[in-house]
Structure 1
Amino acid sequence: MRDEFAERDLAHIRNVLCHLEHSADSLRAIEKGMMVNLNYWRGRVRGILAIPLLSMQVQQQANDLLGRLDRLERTGH
């Protein structure tokens, strides 16, 4: 159950990141202060990582998303 919840939430976050990564407006949005939103998504992922006894697969998915968030943040600078 724990992994199922985490995987659903990570899938949602992954979809948001896909939109941001591929949106023509994403760079402008990041430049206009969307970093707060990136921090929101980073917090959601870290919250999932704080769930006890997550499978390694779910932990890896979460860490991959943190890497994508870091890359998005770097493109905004």
Structure 2
Amino acid sequence: YGEFVDEQDLPPFFQRQAGPALVTAPPAGVELLSLELLNQRHARAVLEHFDGNKSQAAKVLGVTRSTLYRLLGEG
């Protein structure tokens, strides 16, 4: 007890790998969306997949119907 764990103490899977960073700036011209807009678009796509069935869409998204309405901008 009282000892520190260093990076080299971890299995290779958790250690940093040499090479380019995993997170980089998006290429020029790529539209960056707010999380709110991204969630709204995803909710609309799921709703469309289920032919407008809001109960099914909410279930797949793991949210309540009232949250789905909020995501869609309807509530």
**TM-score relative to the length of structure 1:** 0.31
More helix by share: 1
Q: Choose 1 or 2 for highest CA Rg.
A: 2
**TM-score relative to the length of structure 2:** 0.31
Larger relative contact order, structure 1 or 2 (CA cutoff 8 Å, min sep 6): 1
